[in-house]
Structure 1
């Protein structure tokens, strides 16, 4: 069988056309593959950002929950700033409070390798980034500290730390600025963003709640102590872990402690008595209801003291300690 020239040419053109179509299809497939790769990368980035956001929010929720877990303000604020440092992927962080007597910022918490050195410094209102935030009440984000004239270099020069970026937000109580928190050289996922600022501001709000709770608790302690003094009653108070946080002069006298003694819950537990006062404190806390007993101290014929114990419960129903009023019978 023979193929004439025209037929051969037609066959060749057809093959060439098919090859071109195949090449076009290959290019389209390659483009689709590239698009799929880009889409996959975008999905991976979106997933990573969502996971990061979930992690940050989970940490923030955990910090918020910890507010009612302890009355130790230093412990709570240190934990809060450690979480903020981790979430913001920062090098160092600090929490400063306003000293109302001098109108200066003092370091309450300073984390990082230069933390101890940093705590020696004080900043005037308006001095440095932190001072500006405390003065104006407005957050400040600095991406390049070297180029920002507001930045205070003295601390870096004294400690050898190299500040590159700063995020600083105010701590407010009822619209009054009581301090600031800041992170240095943060970089969670690239340049600092509005989302970073929102998350960090939430940490400042949590710090404000912790400070408010501490002040309220201190006020309760002070009021209870002095009210009981006026009523000629002994008073003592424990926190949620059972540690003694307040004991007034009359309670010291009733229990046989001098004013100079550093009294602990263990000291009270070791008192010789027919009933354990520390057990009464614990019972009131565990049962979340008042306990009333007459306790005889020392040997037979010793002093008798009526002990009225009540649990301290916050507005959310959380048990945060106990209070006891003591009166000699």
Structure 2
């Protein structure tokens, strides 16, 4: 057993080294000197190329060797990499595992080899090799010395990998904060967040525009300085304390104008790890809406946007925070937590994409590019993609014998199908069947998507295509999404001269039918 005094290398570097090759070179030089051999090298496994690459080389034909890489299934190095065990070969000519091609390509004569694995946990990440002992033969004692130094190298490698993973997580969190800012700034409604003492913490540009004040004049102020009615503040606090949200409150804001600014307010609790951190408040400017009350007020009074926004932003953020904390505590099992972070970032990005699609639809900025689509081949391709993405469900496709054509925008149609199939998956048990069927009658081509979920309550059917309406399901603790997917699907289909209908029976499942005006087959010749 080697003691601390046997190592002239500074142990502190093993915990803080960030430039891996330099530290590994220092280890290799010391081991080569202690064992007494002509040359040595440290190889690291590259997961992208799936080859062992020379990271540090001492002695021998170092210039020529650096250009080479090793198949992890060949040679002495490959044997050690696969077995995860140290190996001594004191006569390479008599060992079939020795790969002579490297000597031939470099002109170096390898007579004996000592090789040990570099491990992070139970995973082999590289090889520590010494060549041609200058005096005598490589011994078991030599293996022990090299293993001791290899353990130091493994600590360095592991710490650097953890550091890199944390840097990646840090970057993802920063990107997520950027996505959140883009989302809030894209809203036409004002949004502010307040802390537990009712002080304003943040606001978006739309809110500044409503009150005609600068950010500097707002941040840090008590919300009562802007909300003209004490009753409104009490109603917000009371509603959020009791139900987690307050909706459809009307009041006048004190802004930079002489007269109060009429607004409608929705509010919801901001929570982290179950603790309330304050409120998020969405403010709708009612000044112009008062002149268009019939349309605008209907949208506001039936909107669950603020609750959805709070939930959909905080759920992925909470998972990311938990993943980072666990990663810091568990140095040997950080991979799955990185996956948690990645998946939740993807969820949030998906929410942002559909919300931006909604904003585009609100302004009626979706252009339609009609093209003739051969529905049979198109659906086969799309369903195969669904099968790969959602393998836990069984997809069945029923098509007529003849080719069916429709005129539509393929991008729009794909968005609609993805939304409908995702709904079918969300509200169905794993392993259930989702059937896609094309029906060809005299006037229309009907495309139906049927699931085996719990169905929709009869009283909810009429609200399915309303914006920001969401419905819980017995399979889930709560509903998810922003409540605009079906509304957007209906909008895009109408732009494509198609219509959508939904039939559902509680406990039996749901059938969504999309109907296109039939195109004559001769028209496509």
In the superposition, the TM-score normalised over structure 1's length comes to 0.50
Instruction: Classify 1:202/1:63 alpha carbon distance in 2 versus 1 (closer, same or farther; 3 Å).
Output: farther
* Corresponding residue for residue 214 of structure 1: 160
Aligned to 1:66: 13
Aligned to 2:74: 127
Structure 2: 5+ residue runs without aligned partners?
A: 180-327, 330-525
**How far 1:168 sits from its partner (Å)?**
0.2
Give 1:82's aligned residue.
29
How far does the alpha carbon of each residue in 1:173-210 deviate from its partner, in whole angstroms, 9 at most, with x for none? 111111111000124x6322211101101121111111
Tell me how far 1:155 sits from its aligned partner: 1.3
Shift of 1:103: 2.7
1:91 aligned counterpart, secondary structure: strand
Q: Distance in 1 between matches of 2:104 and 2:4?
A: 35
- Aligned counterpart, 1:261: none
Partner of 1:199: 145
Contact preservation (8 Å) 1:59, 1:87:
no
How much does 1:144 deviate?
1.1
Q: Deviations over 1:213-248 (max 9, x none)?
A: 111111122222232333349xxxxxxxxxxxxxxx
- Using a 3 Å threshold, how does the CA distance of structure 1 residues 88 and 126 change in structure 2: closer, same or farther? same
The answer for unaligned runs of 5 or more in structure 1 is 1-52, 234-313, 316-329
Residue deviations 1:263-320 (CA, integer Å, cap 9, x gap): xxxxxxxxxxxxxxxxxxxxxxxxxxxxxxxxxxxxxxxxxxxxxxxxxxx99xxxxx
Provide the aligned C-alpha RMSD in A: 2.5
Judged with a 3 Å threshold, the aligned counterparts in structure 2 of structure 1 residues 59 and 162 are, in CA distance, closer, same or farther, namely farther
Report the CA distance between 1:101 and its aligned residue: 2.9
| Aligned CA distance change for structure 1 residues 63 and 169 (closer, same or farther; 3 Å) | farther
Aligned residues of 2:76 and 2:99 also touching (Cα < 8 A): yes
Contact 1:59 1:83 in 2 (8 A): no
CA contact (8 A) 1:80 1:207 kept: yes
Aligned to 1:39: none
- Larger relative contact order (C-alpha < 8 A, sep ≥ 6)? 1
- Of the candidates 69, 92, 100, which is equivalent to residue 145 of structure 1? 92
Contact preservation (8 Å) 2:40, 2:130: yes
Contact 1:126–1:133 (Cα < 8 Å) also in 2: no
Measure, in 2, the Cα distance between the counterparts of 1:67 and 1:100. Answer: 23
What secondary structure does 2:96 align onto? Answer: coil
What is the alpha-carbon distance in structure 2 between the residues aligned to residue 71 and residue 207 of structure 1? 12
Q: How far apart, in 2, do the equivalents of 1:175 and 1:110 lie? A: 25
Counterpart check, 1:94 vs 2:41: yes
* Distance change in 2, residues 1:86/1:157 (3 Å): same
Equivalenced residues, count = 181
Deviations 1:136-182 (A, max 9, x none): 11111011112212111111111111111100001111111111110
Could you say if the C-alpha distance between residues 112 and 85 of structure 1 is closer, same or farther in structure 2, counting changes exceeding 3 Å? same
Q: CA deviation at 1:63?
A: 5.3
Q: Which residue of 2 aligns with 1:169?
A: 116
C-alpha displacement of 1:57:
6.2
2:110 match: secondary structure:
coil
